[in-house]
A and B are shown apart, each in its own frame.
Chain A
Amino acid sequence: MSKVNTSKNNAFLIDMTKCTGCRGCQVACKQWNQLAAEKTEFFSGEGYQNPPAMSEYTFTRIKFRDYQKNGQNEFAFYKEMCMHCNDPACASVCPVGAFKKTAEGPVIYKADRCIGCRFCMIACPFGVPKYEWSKGLPLVKKCTGCYSRVLEGMKPACATACPTAITYGRRDEMIKLAEERLAKHPNKYIHKVYGKEEAGGTSVIYLTSLPFNELGFKPVTLRPLPDYTWQALRMVPAAFLAVGGGLSALSWITHRRDRLKHEKAAEQVDNPAEEKED
Chain B
Amino acid sequence: MTAAKFVVNEVKGYHGFVKFLILLVVIAALASMVRFVFGLGATTNMNDTYPWGLWISFDVVTAVPLAAGAFTLGAIVHCFHIKKLEPLVRPAIVTGFLGYSLVCVGLLLDLGQPQRGWHVMRYWNLHSPMFEVSMCVMAYTTVLFLEFLSPVAERFGWNLSLRVLRWLEMPLVILAAAISTLHQSSLGTFFLIAVDKLHSLWYNPLLPLLFWVSAICSGMCIIIIEATSCHKWMGQPNEGVLLRTLAKILPWTLGLYIALRAYSLLALSVGPFFDRPVLTLLFVVELVIGFILPFFMFTQKSVREDDRRRVIAASLVVFGLVLNRFNVSMFGMMNPDQIYYPSIVESLVTIGIIAGHILFFVLIAKYFPIFEHHPETVDYTIPGRIRKSDNGAEPVSEQS
Contacts and interface: CB of A to CB of B under 8 A. Distances in A.
Given A218-B196, A244-B174, A255-B394, A116 B128 contact: no
Contacts of B2: none
Given A92-B193, A130-B48, 6 more contacts: A117-B130, A218-B196, A229-B192, A236-B182, A255-B81, A278-B83
Interface string B77-101: 0111111100000000000000000
A55 B48 contact: yes
Given A115-B113, A116-B111, A228 B192 contact: yes
A15 B115 CA distance: 44
B181 interface: yes
Interface in A115-164: 115-119, 121-123, 125, 127, 130-140
Residue of B39, B115, B128 ringed by the most chain A CB atoms within 10 A: B128
A13 B41 CA distance: 35
Nearest to B203: A228
A258 B375 CA distance: 15
Interface string A209-240: 00000000011110001101111110010011
A97 B113 contact: no
A95 interface: yes
B123 A244 contact: no
A221 B196 contact: yes
Contacts of B38: 136
A102 B52 CA distance: 28
Interface residues of B, number: 74
Interface residues of A, number: 68
Contact of B127 (A134, A230, A239): A230
Interface string B193-226: 1111100000001011000000000000000000
Contacts of B48: 53-55, 121, 127, 130-131, 133
A249 B188 CA distance: 28
Interface in A159-211: none
B207 to A, nearest CB: 8
Interface in B101-134: 110-117, 119-120, 122-132, 134
7 contacts: A116-B111, A138-B113, A218-B196, A219-B196, A229-B192, A231-B192, A241-B400
B120 A96 contact: yes
Contacts, number: 217
Nearest to B398: A248
Interface string B373-395: 00000000000000100001110
A246 B130 CA distance: 26
Nearest to A250: B79
B51 A131 contact: yes
B193 A115 contact: no
A96 B123 contact: yes
Given A121-B48, A139-B113, A251-B394, A97 B125 contact: yes
Interface in A48-101: 53-55, 89, 92-98
B355 to A, nearest CB: 25
A122 B193 contact: yes
Given A232-B192, A233-B132, A248-B397, A240 B112 contact: no
Nearest to A54: B48
B399 interface: yes
Residue of B49, B122, B124, B174 ringed by the most chain A CB atoms within 10 A: B174
B46 interface: yes
Contacts of A257: 81
B330 to A, nearest CB: 12
A160 B173 CA distance: 61
Contacts of B42: 133-134
A93 B130 contact: yes
A273 to B, nearest CB: 15
B256 interface: no
Contacts of B31: none
B40 A133 contact: yes
A224 B314 CA distance: 41
B394 A248 contact: yes
A25 B89 CA distance: 63
A133 B196 contact: no
B175 interface: yes
